[in-house]
A and B are shown apart, each in its own frame.
Chain A
Amino acid sequence: MSGLPAEIGQEPAPQPVGNDPRPVIGGVGTEMMVHGARCVACGYTLAYSRPRCPVCGGRLESALYGPGGSVWACTTVRIAISHIQPPYGLAYVDLDSGPRVLAHFDPAGSGSVRVGSSVRLAGLTPDGNPLIEAVG
Chain B
Amino acid sequence: MNAFVYGVGSSNFGKQPEIRVEDLAARAILEALSAAEVDTVEAVYVGTVFGPPGLSQRVLQRVGITRVPVLTIENTCASSTTAFHEAVTAVDAGRWDRALALGLEKMTSVGVGPIEPESSDPEARSGMALPAIYAMSASRYIACFGLTETQLASVSVKNHRQALANPRAQYRAKLSVEDVLSSRMIADPLTLYQCCAISDGAAAAVIGKDRGDRTDVRVRASALRSGGLWDYRSAHVWGFEVTRDTAQTAFEQAALAPQDVDVFEVHDAFTIAEIVATEALGLAPEGRGGELVDSGHTAMGGRQPVNPSGGLLSRGHPVGATGLAQVAEIVWQLSGAAADRQVDGARIGLVETLGGGTAGIDGNGCVVTVLGG
Contacts and interface: CB of A to CB of B under 8 A. Distances in A.
Interface of A: 19-23, 45, 48, 54-55, 72-82, 84, 88, 90, 92, 94, 98-100, 102-104, 114-116, 129-130
Interface stretch (B79-87, B132-140, B327-335, B336-344): B132-140
Given A55-B229, A76-B187, A81-B114, A90 B143 contact: no
B224 to A, nearest CB: 21
Interface of B: 113-114, 116-117, 119-123, 125-129, 131-132, 135-140, 142-144, 184-190, 229, 231-232, 237, 359
B359 to A, nearest CB: 7
A21 B185 CA distance: 29
Given A73-B136, A75-B132, A90-B127, 4 more contacts: A22-B126, A55-B229, A73-B237, A81-B127
Contact of B135 (A20, A45, A75): A75
Nearest to A46: B231
A80 B51 CA distance: 25
Nearest to A84: B127
Contacts of A99: 231-232
B304 to A, nearest CB: 28
A75 B113 contact: no
A54 B229 contact: yes
A115 to B, nearest CB: 4
A76 B186 CA distance: 8
Contacts of B187: 75-79
A23 B184 CA distance: 32
A21 to B, nearest CB: 4
Contacts of A84: 127
Contacts of A104: 126-127
Contacts of B231: 99-100
A77 B121 contact: no
Contacts of B135: 75, 77
A45 B359 contact: no
B255 to A, nearest CB: 33
B113 A79 contact: yes
18 contacts: A19-B120, A73-B136, A73-B139, A73-B140, A75-B132, A75-B139, A77-B186, A78-B186, A79-B131, A81-B114, A82-B116, A82-B117, A88-B127, A92-B136, A94-B232, A104-B126, A115-B140, A116-B143
B122 A22 contact: yes
B126 A102 contact: yes
Contact of B126 (A80, A100, A129): A129
Contacts of B232: 45, 72, 94, 98-100
Question: Considering the complex of A and B, which 4 residue pairs feature the smallest CB-CB distances, nearest first?
Answer: A115-B143, A75-B135, A73-B136, A21-B122
Contacts of A73: 136-137, 139-140, 237
Nearest to B135: A75
Given A22-B122, A90-B126, A102-B122, A75 B114 contact: no
Contacts of A100: 231-232
B126 A77 contact: no
Contacts of B186: 77-79
A44 B260 CA distance: 40
Contacts of B185: 78
Contacts of B189: 75
A75 B131 CA distance: 10
Nearest to A95: B232
A21 B121 contact: yes
Contacts of B131: 77, 79
Most central of A21, A76, A80, A99 by chain B CB within 10 Å = A21
B156 to A, nearest CB: 17
Given A77-B132, A77-B187, A102-B359, A82 B127 contact: yes
Nearest to B189: A75
A120 to B, nearest CB: 17
A115 B139 contact: yes
A7 B186 CA distance: 43
A76 B188 contact: yes
Contacts of B136: 73-75, 90, 92
Contact of B119 (A82, A88, A115): A82
B182 to A, nearest CB: 14
B188 A81 contact: no
Nearest to B237: A73
B286 to A, nearest CB: 15
A77 B135 CA distance: 9
